[in-house]
Amino acid sequence: MSLNLNDKKAVVAEISAKVATAQTIVVAEYRGIQVGHLTQLRAKARAQGVYLRVLKNTLARRAVEGTAFASLSSEMTGPLIYSISDDAVGAAKVLSDFAKTNDKLVVKAGNYAGKPLDKAAVTALASIPSREVLMSQLLGIMLAPVSGFARGLAALAAKKGAGAEVVAEAEVEPAAA
């Protein structure tokens, strides 16, 4: 179904708004994928907060024109699905994870913060843990010295408490004898 001029302008405006706040865009060729599998991919993307859409390449080129993602225009050929995310790794992770289970989805290229990425770089970006996982790991590292100190104090208190009981028993026994 062909879009009229106003529809095309609306699509370009929508994509431009997404691109304005995005950190990462990843494009993949989806030729030969069944509709049911694309529906599953869209559901996974939605759950992770990733904007995923099949677009006409000319409209996508117009949307990224003049942005940090303009270098991606040269890769926009063929039937592509566009993954756009505000999260640095979300777009790459969604497509890379799906490509592992479906060999018909081929990741072509990406762009992270204005830097072009090839297929290997997109895969490397996808292997980075999510922001929440990284934050919890950082918090665990920051809490390790404090919790270790607390365990040490508890052990010292338990040792002193056990020593005080032995001394108290020793004082009671000689008086009884």
In the structure, what pLDDT confidence band is assigned to residue 43 with cuts at 50, 70 and 90? very high
| Overall number of domains in the chain | 2
Q: Which domain holds residue 96?
A: 5-128
Domain co-membership, 44 together with 98: yes
Cα distances from 162 to residues 24, 137, 149, 155, 170, in angstroms, run 59, 36, 20, 10, 13
**Helix pair angle (5-21, 57-64), 10° resolution:** 50
Closest CA to 87 of 114, 50, 122, 138: 50
Domain co-membership, 95 together with 173: no
Select from 107, 128, 149 the last residue of a domain.
128
Domain co-membership, 20 together with 92: yes
User: pTM for the complete prediction?
Assistant: 0.70
Instruction: Indicate the SS3 state at residue 113.
Output: coil
- Give pLDDT tens digits for 102-161: 888 888 888 988 888 888 888 888 888 877 788 888 888 888 888 888 888 888 888 887
* 114: CATH: 3.30.70.1730
CB 125 within 8 A of CB 42: no
Domain co-membership, 95 together with 172: no
Domain co-membership, 115 together with 145: no
Tokens of 88: 């640095």
CA distance 1 to 63: 20
- Give pLDDT tens digits for 57-81: 888 888 888 888 888 888 888 889 9
pLDDT computed for residue 128 by the predictor: 83
pLDDT computed for residue 174 by the predictor: 54
CB 79 within 8 A of CB 30: yes
Judged on CB neighbours under 10 Å (0-12, 13-18, 19+), 138 is: exposed
Domain co-membership, 95 together with 140: no
